[in-house]
Amino acid sequence: MNDRATALEACDLGWSIAMIGRGYAAVVDPVFADVPRGARGYQLLHTVIHKSIRSQTALADYLGVDRTVMPYFVDDLQAAGLVERQDDPADRRRRIVAATRHGRARYAELSERVLEAERVFFGDLPDGERSAFVATLATMAHRSRELAAQRR
Amino acid sequence: MNDRATALEACDLGWSIAMIGRGYAAVVDPVFADVPRGARGYQLLHTVIHKSIRSQTALADYLGVDRTVMPYFVDDLQAAGLVERQDDPADRRRRIVAATRHGRARYAELSERVLEAERVFFGDLPDGERSAFVATLATMAHRSRELAAQRR
DNA sequence: TATTGTTATACTCTATAACTATA
DNA sequence: TATAGTTATAGAGTATAACAATA
């Protein structure tokens, strides 16, 4: 079947977005088989390592989940030794979520396997098209986070 | 904040895909407030109108849900008068799901409001970038459906 | 024996409500 | 009074298992 022909025919954007979510999960979930909370657990680990988002409420906001689910996430990652809760001296209500040394090492392994899985995900999509897609996707993701936040 | 700068920084593809799912839902869900099963119900209506996918098993496969949930979907859309089950004379096990006249009229209204919502979703993204993104998205969606199907 | 549709049940993920402690 | 974290409970969405009818 011709890809471009189907691209023109498939005007249901919602279906397309749902499908890439499923397809991405299909290639990447095996990588997260042993990661607590799977893909979301990995995203949390990625976030505390790469972003300056540390409190549980801020992490919930960034990951797009309710703040009441964060304790469960952090509990499970902490039990696996991937992150730890640190007291914030500036505000004793706050817990700073930080990756442990083991968490960073595990993240390094996982992120390489994620890259491999993403190559499978994109398949033979031309490099230029892939990089353009990923760039727009990132722009739209940040925009989407704002759109979703407005709903509350 | 500069969009392009954040695009380079955000290398967590899984997070981006999850976010656009949430952002798209945020703009489009109000349109589906009165549609049984919401966005998925609309996708089902879209499919039986635009594709030659009629049996419940084939619809489940296309929409990426287990076939055991289809009876609930079809029941609800049928109760709302949007679709009807027709007997397939060629195979009496099969039920052909077809949009009713009312279903087609409702779909026409809804699809216009969906297009409006999608304009909000894309915001000020340049037309060329948007059309390139949607084209690649459709290609990747079809590819993703195959990837997800391979998992079974 | 395999497939379509169906139903009941169970599981996963997430949100709601209510609480404690700090600010 | 408001906010960060926590806990228990409930809900939405989906899958698993088992069955009847038909191929």
- Tens digit of each residue's pLDDT, chain A (152 residues): 334 444 344 468 999 999 999 999 999 999 999 999 999 999 999 999 999 999 999 999 999 999 999 999 999 999 999 999 999 999 999 999 999 999 999 999 999 999 999 999 999 999 999 999 999 999 999 999 999 988 76
Amino acid at residue number A151: R
CA distance A116 to chain B (A): 13
Is A14 in contact with B43 (Cβ distance < 8 A)?
Answer: yes
Using a CB-CB cut-off of 8 Å, the residues of chain B touching A145 are 19, 22-23
Is B136 in contact with A118 (Cβ distance < 8 A)?
Answer: no
Which residues from the 59-78 window of protein chain B have CB within 7 angstroms of nucleic acid chain D? 65-66, 68-69, 72
CB A57 within 8 A of CB A96: no
Residue B152 contacts strand D, CB under 7 A: no
How far apart CA B9 and CA A113 sit, in angstroms, is 19
pLDDT at B10 (0 to 100): 43
Residue–nucleotide distance: B39 CA to D9 C1' (Å): 27
Q: In this complex, which of A10, A25, A121 lies closest to B138 when CB atoms are compared?
A: A10
Q: DSSP code of B66?
A: -
How far apart CA A79 and CA A21 sit, in angstroms, is 28
| Nearest residue: Cα versus C1' of C16 | A68
DSSP, collapsed to helix, strand or coil, labels residue A66 as coil
Q: DSSP code of B95?
A: E
The count of C-alpha atoms lying within 13 angstroms of the C-alpha of B26, restricted to the half-sphere facing its C-beta, is 21
Here the tokens at position B43 are 């996708």
Provide the mean pLDDT of chain B.
92
Q: pTM of this prediction?
A: 0.92
Q: Which residue of B has its CA nearest to A15?
A: B43
How far apart CA B115 and CA B74 sit, in angstroms, is 25
pLDDT at A130 (0 to 100): 97
